[in-house]
Chain A
Amino acid sequence: MAAVNVNPHINTSPFFGAQLRKLAIGASVTLFATIILIAYLLPLGNMTTISLKSQQQLVGSTDTPILPMSAKVFVYEDKEYEVFQVPMQDGTVKPLALVRKGRQDSDFVDPDNPDAGLINWQGSWRTLEPSFVFEPHFENYPRAWELLDFPLLFKNTLVIALTGMIGTLVSSICVAYAFARFPIPGKNWLFLVLIGTIILPSQVTLIPTYAFFAKIGWTGTQLPLIVPHFFANAYNVFLLRQFFMTLPRELDEAALIDGAGPLRVLVSIIIPQAWPAIISVGMFHFIFAWNDYFGPLIYLLGEPQLQPISVGVQVFNFQYGPNPELIQATSLMAMVLPLLIFVFAQKIFMRGVVITGVEK
């Protein structure tokens, strides 16, 4: 072998080699990532455990366990007795059923060996920790599913989200294409006006818009939540235009010379190259529509058969306030679908976001 060329500027200490250092960095990054992940998913975990509890498990005293646990009981001579963690004289802790409650001493029976008879234990039984068994109540889910008309809510949400998504994609692509590729007098000024609408708070436009929709008789229908999306949205136009600008013009020009019309160029040249951006915009809209609460709240007031899941869940929250387990079960079910879409579309989505480089 020839002499190894060592760069004097790079620290290649034999004690802390590059390999090892890389490993250490990798490990600390993973550790940090895991901590963040746990912090992030903890509330969701809490949600899941609550959703699996029974009313009894929820109501208990302040030291109810976080997991869906029930106090363990043991049937001894046809009667139910609570099981406690009893410290024995030999230092071990045994789960024993409390048969006779006494102030100074109590009688227990060993559930594993009931024939051995009563065991007398000195001390106040109130200091003992009750013994819990893991007892998840999965039946909360079917119950919540029945109480809240999930198929209807999902259908409504999907109708609103998907038609709106198609509308916003078609219109935003067209508008972005016009802004990205055509020489129109006053184009920059128009674009500025369009982008300026992003900063308009909905509180400002709400009342006149509502009045307008009320005038044409669209309140109480899903139309105000769908139709406006067929006329593009400034965020999406901005995103798509930025992306279209990065596409090389040579292909368009070649197609134009070959006799393709501008619409043909859009469909056959631009759109096939722009899939990541288009998918991102579609996803943004889908998530937006899935989460949108304010719009459906005001336009679908008093029309429960048309309401999407966000409003449905909130109405349910009001009705079933004393049943947090049902509320959390519905909440979990409400987020499963966007979550699944998210996980599956994650790769393409990330690519699209990375390429467009901006957010909605």
Chain B
Amino acid sequence: MDYSSTARARTSISTQVYLIAGLMLLLGVGALWLFVTGITDALMHRAAGADFGAVLLRYLHVNGIILPLIELGLGLYLIRLAARFLRRDLRAAMWVRQLLLWGVVASTVFVVQALGSALATQMAATEAYMIPVIGVILALTLTYAYLWIGSNIEKFEGQETLAESSARFAWNLLVPTLLVLVFVALRPLEKTFIASLTDQRFAAGADAEVNFVGFDNYAKLLGVRWDLVQCTTDDTGACAVDESGATVFPRARDVLDETYRDLRYREISTWLTLGGTKLIFSARDTNFIGSIGNTLMFTVVSVTIELILGIFIAMVINSKFPGRGLMRAAMLVPWAIPTVVSAKLWTVILRDNSSGILNAGINLIQRTLGLPEESIAWLARPETQIIAMIAIDVWKTTPFMALILLAGLQTIPADIYEAADVDGANRITQFLRLTIPLLRPTIAVALVFRTLDAVRVFDVFQVVLAQKQYSMATYNYYTLTNSQQLGYASAVGVVIFVIILLFTVAYVRILGVSAE
């Protein structure tokens, strides 16, 4: 950029510069306007006499936290950019050009979407086409502005370094993704949390009343208590005993305080019985507390088994033997089968008479040992249901675990084993002192990902057990679809998220997984 061209740029003041700067300013002010109206709206409600908590929740329900922050940041950024653009700053011009390009893309998408819905509704009315027409005009204007800056770039002063221009390029790649992440991840998380504080219902229509209930949903979900229950006494004052000799206890709801009944606590299990006293565990939502137990049990047991088996299998397929390629491919077969299919397969295998292959095998063993043949109804009893779930998951995901661990094993150089051989270390020492420590980062990654998946388990439970027993995810699903309680289901979702978060934090602390 030589002196003469900048001089010429200064002398010819273009109206286009003002127009484009004005457009940026308008967008910036618009964003700030959205931010401010959100707050003034809330303030008006406060002035109208609503209490502060209700106003805050209402604000969160309508606006959330993330959107106002984006509005504020974007507004301030655009206004600053417009000012710099007016001062003919080259870097500002490049960024304005960038934004215009995104604007063109966004308005084109908008036009296509609007046209699509206009065609879908088959409205003959012209209003349906007004929105696409406005979009087209907007897109054309932005394209013109974009092209104008491109061809008049010499009217701007300053220099953009290579690093700055490549950073601008990189933002091009990142911004769409990050924006979408905000809309498909962070904003939903926030919305779900806010919805969990309400009694909103699913598919209830737009005019349905939504009340804020504070943490009531959580209190109901997680409400548990332990109580001591005294035995029923007979005439002599001693504990009553039934025919089988067991001590008779009254129903908990009949003897405990009123809140037990009012809040609909129900007994889940007896933890301890000492003479005439027993310790019982009750919950307000027994299904959900049960689903937490099921999911945690499922997660811990299946991930542990998968890890141990996975290490062995990885070591086997890492060593050279005839047919290794075939073995590797075959091992991964269960992973490639849709869960719906494998779950159905297992319901056949686990059938409760000997037409199921598992019971057939058990019967065969019983017959050879001379024991009476007895089939296990795997999918009918609560305890065995979870065992069956674990078996299906282990069958399906161990190969995958093995695959990740194999990747880790292959990064261990072979010569350290040779060195260990020379030093006389045996295989077990080598495994414990070399393989495991060197595999630790891979094990950590595998454990984190597998655990997160296991806590979220949905399809196996839904396909095989439906509503016989719940995992947290299927409970969430059925709360939403069957009982239509959106607020309550949201609270379930948030609890799942918190449990996952706890697992992640624990892993990061214990195993030292880093983001890098």
Contacts and interface: CB of A to CB of B under 8 A. Distances in A.
Contacts of B410: 354
Contacts of B344: 313-314, 317, 327-328, 331
Q: Which residue among B187, B321, B494 has the maximum number of chain A CB atoms within 10 Å of its CB?
A: B321
Contacts of B120: 217
A353 B445 CA distance: 14
Contacts of A177: 173
Contact of B345 (A47, A228, A356): A47
A151 interface: no
A216 B112 CA distance: 12
B180 A231 contact: yes
Nearest to B202: A207
Contacts of B422: 7, 9-10
Contacts of B94: none
Most chain B C-beta atoms within 10 Å of own C-beta, residue among A204, A335, A360: A204
B348 A182 contact: no
A175 interface: yes
Contact of B399 (A40, A47, A354): A40
A342 B501 contact: no
Interface residues of A, number: 95
Most buried by B among A181, A205, A262, A317: A205
Contacts of A47: 345, 348
Nearest to A345: B329
Contact of B329 (A192, A204, A208, A342): A342
B494 A30 contact: no
A309 B338 contact: yes
Contact of A359 (B313, B403, B458): B403
Contact of B497 (A201, A216, A287): A201
Interface in B171-194: 171, 173-174, 176-178, 180-181, 183-189, 191-192
B297 interface: no
A205 B184 contact: yes
B166 interface: yes
Interface string B161-177: 00100110111011011
B442 interface: yes
A334 B456 contact: no
Chain A CB within 10 A, most for which of B317, B333, B472, B500 = B333
A324 B344 CA distance: 9
Given A178-B173, A203-B492, A33 B317 contact: yes
Interface stretch (B132-140, B221-229, B351-359): B351-359
B195 to A, nearest CB: 7
Given A41-B330, A199-B501, A359-B446, A354 B406 contact: yes
A206 B407 contact: no
Contact of B500 (A201, A234, A327, A331): A201
B301 interface: no
Interface stretch (A118-126, A267-275, A288-296): A288-296
Contacts of A356: 407
Interface stretch (A58-66, A74-82, A90-98): A58-66
Interface of A: 7, 9-10, 26, 29-30, 32-33, 36-37, 40-44, 46-47, 50, 58, 62-64, 66, 171, 174-175, 177-179, 181-185, 188, 190-195, 197-209, 212, 216-217, 228, 231-232, 234, 237, 262-263, 287, 290-291, 293-294, 309-311, 313-314, 317, 324, 327-328, 331, 334-335, 338-339, 342-343, 346-347, 350, 353-354, 356-360
Contact of B321 (A30, A171, A178, A212): A30
Given A9-B424, A194-B178, A197-B185, A262 B406 contact: no
16 contacts: A26-B321, A29-B321, A36-B316, A36-B331, A46-B345, A62-B354, A177-B173, A184-B174, A194-B178, A201-B500, A207-B490, A314-B340, A331-B345, A346-B325, A357-B407, A357-B408
B457 to A, nearest CB: 10
A187 to B, nearest CB: 8
- Label chain B's interface by main secondary structure: helix
A62 B187 contact: no
Given A46-B345, A178-B173, A204-B497, A310 B338 contact: yes
Closest 10 CB pairs of A and B: A182-B170, A231-B180, A205-B188, A208-B188, A178-B173, A208-B191, A178-B170, A197-B185, A204-B493, A331-B341
A195 B496 contact: no
A164 B14 CA distance: 46
Contacts of A237: 177
A142 B192 CA distance: 47
Contacts of A42: 357
B341 A33 contact: no
A115 B163 CA distance: 99
B500 A291 contact: no
B102 interface: no
A32 B345 contact: no
Contacts of A185: 167
B455 interface: yes
Contact of A192 (B348, B480, B515): B515
Contact of A346 (B329, B348, B349): B329
A358 B340 contact: no
Contacts of B329: 342-343, 346
B325 A347 contact: yes
Contacts of A181: 170
**Residue in A33, A63, A192, A290 with the greatest tally of chain B CB atoms within 10 Å:** A33
A63 B173 CA distance: 64
A181 to B, nearest CB: 8
Most chain A beta-carbon contacts within 10 A, residue among B332, B345, B404, B476: B345
A293 B167 contact: no
B184 A209 contact: yes
